[in-house]
Amino acid sequence: MKRNVIIATVTAAALLTGGTAAAFASASDGDAPVAKAPKVTAEQALKAVAPHGTVLSLDLDDDAQRSWDVELLTKDGKTQEWTVDARTAKATQDTSDASDASDASDASDASDGSDDD
């Protein structure tokens, strides 16, 4: 548990530092529009998904919905994709990505040692 907090804190600090530098760089361009900062910070997004596993990555998606894309490692060793709304901090699991299930079955097929050919 302590490790999860340390990883989340380091990730949040890196994201906040990088995000601040990017905001100042964007603000200095006269022609480029400046993106609004999300209402939900990286730290708040981390807290929203923390009960579900260890955060592997956290990215601000700059699409029309403005959301945080989060990749988690669950207690049973599986990776999951989550989305945190950048306005409300509501966390939802992305179930549309079925590649994790197929990857897991491919790995178990390869490790069973049987020759299916």
In the chain, where are the structural domains located?
Answer: 2-99
The predicted pLDDT at position 33 comes to 59
Rounded to the nearest integer, the mean pLDDT of the chain is: 73
Residue 18 has pLDDT above 60, yes or no: no
What is the C-alpha radius of gyration for the chain, rounded to an integer number of angstroms?
18
**Cβ burial, residue 86 (10 Å; 0-12/13-18/19+):** buried
Parallel, antiparallel, or unpaired: how do β-strands 54-61 and 79-85 relate? unpaired
**Lowest model confidence (mean pLDDT) among 21-30, 43-52, 79-88:** 21-30
Residue 38, pLDDT score? 79
CA 52 to chain centre: 12
Question: pLDDT at position 104, please?
Answer: 45
Token pair 């994201």 is found at 15
Higher-scoring residue by pLDDT: 22, 52? 52
Q: What pLDDT is stored for residue 95 in this prediction?
A: 87
Q: Is the pLDDT of residue 9 over 90?
A: no
**pTM higher than the cut 0.75:** no
In the chain, what percentage of residues exceed pLDDT 70? 50
Which alpha helices (H) appear in the chain, and where do they start and end?
Answer: 2-28, 42-49, 99-111
Please name the residue that has the structure tokens 């549309």.
Answer: 96
Of 18-22, 59-63, 104-108, the range with the lowest mean pLDDT is 104-108
